[in-house]
Amino acid sequence: MMSCKLLPCPHGPITDTLHLRRAGSIDELEDVLDLHASAFGPRGAILRTRMQANLCARPGSRPDDVFYVRDIESGLVASSVSLIRQQWSYEGIPIPVGEVGIVSTREAYRNRGLVRHQFAAFARLALQQGCVMSVIAGIPYFYRQFGYDFILPLGGGINLPAAAVPEAPEGQAPRYTLRQATPADMPMLLGFYSAMVEGQCVGSVMTPEIWCYQDGVAEDSPERLITYVIERDGDGVGYVRAMANEDSNGYVITSAYAPTRDMCLEVLRYARRIALEQRCDPKIGLGVAMDTPLAQVAEALGGERRRAYAWQVRILDPIRFLYLIGPALERRLAASSWAGLTRDWSINLYTTRLLMRFRDGKLMQVTTSPRDTQHDLSCPAEAMPAIWLGYRSVGEVLDWYADAACRNTESRQLADVLFPKRPSWIQWLF
Ligand SMILES: CC(C)(COP(=O)(O)OP(=O)(O)OC[C@H]1O[C@@H](n2cnc3c(N)ncnc32)[C@H](O)[C@@H]1OP(=O)(O)O)[C@@H](O)C(=O)NCCC(=O)NCCS
């Protein structure tokens, strides 16, 4: 059994024999991986390598971001939850995000509140580390009880039979060529990535470390990606990234910047060749945002939409979150008939109440508002992030929740201006 360092934790022992800890070294994570491998049933052993990469090798991963509960009698790790620090962007504004990493409890220890206990510790650590928002790509329903709700799109995309992609017209030399990217292409690739997510409300922030990590995982790993630069006359004009290995969706393109129809067709022809020659099921899977030209071209060729799942999101610090996205709110006001707004605008989340103080179109302050305020927008706390993150329009939330309402017409108009429904696209990094 590995030695364990008991790091300070406000909870202390959960029971006499079950103790909450934070890993002190990579070695301690071996016991946590044993737990996950056992808790995920028959898939556990297969997933172990992926989970090891997730906990130990992913850029930014740190052993002390891993919480676990050890049974000091049996020596077994009974349950674990981990924090993965990330940065997402809200219309270009960096938002510190605490993703919940792998969660599991050994069968014999389930339904004793061990995950509940670790989520409380997780939220404290994430807040301490400056994360204003926490997200998880997790199992259905379970995380609602910890304040999470399905808020941002995850997965989805399009499946297209490879044979549906037309050949290039006879005798016409391709205008675009694809070549595998090298590390020297990184600045150009990051520029294309930024252009690709520019129209999105929420997007994941790409760094060279993450990009290289994704392209550099083990040759046979299902997560390994491969990046190509799209060139015209020898100049890079776009990129495409795909899963390097076999996948149940055929040849899977995970992201691309291909702003013209001709480029999209060339990318799809390339994908067609690989799908036909190297995949068991000759189809092309597109995991790109639905409002990109590549998705639109694929759909026009007969591609079928896959149903998206969703990120489960909890805003950990609503005041700091609203303050951080202030520049985006100010831009929205400036582009509306409310330009130069001087007014307080208040939100009643029932569990807490917030006040946004706008002066001359600038968000000067976000604070709590007194209980007796007549609030501009009232909305249950769990539904509000869907509005803040542009996942649902104010009208959709008001239609769905009888306890969501705007105070008057002016309050409603401002709500629509400040928080319009917008597309988002976040790439999941396992
Ligand atoms: C899901 C899982 C992590 C729950 O662990 P746990 O230690 O039993 O969770 P907790 O006891 O802290 O659960 C808190 C509450 O959720 C309830 N709960 C447990 N499993 C649940 C489930 N699958 N769905 C809904 N509620 C569940 C518990 O009864 C408990 O309710 P209570 O506090 O009112 O008694 C565990 O069943 C597991 O490891 N499953 C296999 C791996 C997995 O799917 N991991 C999640 C990947 S995202």
Angle at 403 between CA 401 and CA 405, to 5 degrees: 90
For the CA of 137, the nearest atom of ligand 1: 48
Q: Is the pLDDT of residue 90 over 90?
A: yes
Q: Is the pLDDT of residue 83 over 60?
A: yes
| Atom 46 of ligand 1, residue of closest alpha carbon | 103
Of residues 305, 189, 330, 289, the one with CA closest to residue 249: 305
Ligand 1 centroid to residue 56 C-alpha, Å = 24
For the CA of 119, the nearest atom of ligand 1: 12
159-180 residue pLDDT tens: 999 999 999 988 888 899 999 9
Q: Do β-strands 133-136 and 304-315 pair in parallel, antiparallel, or remain unpaired?
A: antiparallel
Ligand 1 centroid to residue 139 C-alpha, Å = 10
| Atom 13 of ligand 1, residue of closest alpha carbon | 113
358-378 residue pLDDT tens: 999 999 999 999 888 899 999
In this prediction, residue 5 carries a pLDDT of 39
The token pair at 350 is 């029932």
Looking at residue 167, the DSSP 8-state letter turns out to be P
Ligand 1 centroid to residue 142 C-alpha, Å = 6
| Atom 24 of ligand 1, residue of closest alpha carbon | 142
Greatest CA separation for the chain: 78
Q: Report d(CA 161, CA 272) in Å as an integer.
A: 8
In this prediction, residue 372 carries a pLDDT of 84
316-361 residue pLDDT tens: 999 999 999 999 999 999 999 999 999 999 999 999 999 999 999 9
Q: Which of 70, 111, 122, 150 to mutate to test the pocket of ligand 1 (most atoms within 8 A of CB)?
A: 111
Owner of token pair 């999209």: 264
In this prediction, residue 209 carries a pLDDT of 94
Which residues sit opposite 93 in a β-bridge? Answer: 90
Q: Do β-strands 235-243 and 93-100 pair in parallel, antiparallel, or remain unpaired?
A: unpaired
393-430 residue pLDDT tens: 999 999 999 999 999 999 999 999 999 999 999 987 76
In this prediction, residue 44 carries a pLDDT of 86
Q: Which of 18, 103, 117, 134 to mutate to test the pocket of ligand 1 (most atoms within 8 A of CB)?
A: 103
In this prediction, residue 297 carries a pLDDT of 98
In this prediction, residue 4 carries a pLDDT of 37
11 burial level (CB within 10 Å; 0-12, 13-18, 19+): middle
| Atom 9 of ligand 1, residue of closest alpha carbon | 115
Which residues does ligand 1 sit against, CB inside 6 Å?
39-40, 79, 103-105, 110-116, 138-139, 141-142, 145
| Atom 18 of ligand 1, residue of closest alpha carbon | 111
Q: Report d(CA 369, CA 358) in Å as an integer.
A: 14
Angle at 295 between CA 293 and CA 299, to 5 degrees: 115
- Dihedral angle of Cα 385, 426, 96, 340, to the nearest 10 degrees: -60
In this prediction, residue 11 carries a pLDDT of 53
279-324 residue pLDDT tens: 999 999 999 999 999 999 999 999 999 999 999 999 999 999 999 9
pLDDT, mean over the chain: 93
5-18 residue pLDDT tens: 334 444 568 899 99
pLDDT classification of 49: cutoffs 50, 70, 90: confident
Order the strands of the 353-359 sheet from edge to edge.
362-368, 353-359, 343-348, 377-378, 405-406
Length of the chain in terms of residues written:
430
| Distance separating the N- and C-terminal Cα atoms of the chain | 28
Give Cα 125 to chain centroid, integer Å.
19
Ligand 1 centroid to residue 79 C-alpha, Å = 10
Q: Report d(CA 138, CA 118) in Å as an integer.
A: 16
Q: Report d(CA 80, CA 77) in Å as an integer.
A: 8
Continuous segment of H or E residues that includes residue 226: strand 225-232
In this prediction, residue 2 carries a pLDDT of 35
Ligand 1 centroid to residue 384 C-alpha, Å = 25
To the nearest whole percent, how much of the chain has pLDDT over 70?
A: 97
pLDDT classification of 3: cutoffs 50, 70, 90: very low
Ligand 1 centroid to residue 112 C-alpha, Å = 9
The token pair at 266 is 């060339």
Q: Report d(CA 83, CA 407) in Å as an integer.
A: 39
Ligand 1 centroid to residue 237 C-alpha, Å = 47
- This prediction has a pTM of 0.92
**What stretches of 48-147 adopt beta strand conformation (E)?**
66-71, 77-90, 93-100, 104-105, 133-136
Ligand 1 centroid to residue 389 C-alpha, Å = 27
